[in-house]
Amino acid sequence: MNSLDTVLTILGLTVITVITRSFFLLSDRELVLPAWVQRGLRYAPLAALAAVIVPEVVMTQGHLIDTWKDARIYAVAASTAYFFWRRGILGTILTGMAVLVPLKLLLGW
């Protein structure tokens, strides 16, 4: 791509982004979503989080992990156990990191 193509691509993507993100602001009246859409949107954050986290935990360089010597497995197990025990997000993160960092630094996993 030359410079003109790059600039046109960036401008085109900018226009598309502005239009799609301001779509709900262009209407004069409030758009009411059907109840089934509202129920489905409750699960969107969880689905997005799972889509980002799960591949990072179970894969390395595009392949499934094939060893138990992976610190991520133990960090996820510990943080999941903490979450079901105390239901706290900060403690869950701290527990996962407290398991992950020593295993990575001390054992080289």
- CA dist list (Å): 92 to 2, 11, 42, 59, 72: 48, 42, 22, 21, 14
Percent of the chain predicted with pLDDT > 90: 75
pLDDT tens digits for range 70-104:
999 999 999 999 999 999 999 999 999 999 999 99
| Rounded Cα gap, residues 49 and 64, in angstroms | 19
Rg (CA), the chain: 22
CB-CB contact of 31 with 22 (8 Å): no
For the entire predicted model, the pTM comes to 0.63
Beta strand spans in 21-107 (E)? 59-60, 63-64
Q: Using CA of residue 61, residue 64, residue 66, residue 70, what is the dihedral sign?
A: positive
pLDDT tens digits for range 3-40:
999 999 999 999 999 988 887 777 778 878 899 999 99
| Rounded Cα gap, residues 72 and 57, in angstroms | 6
Residue type, 2: N
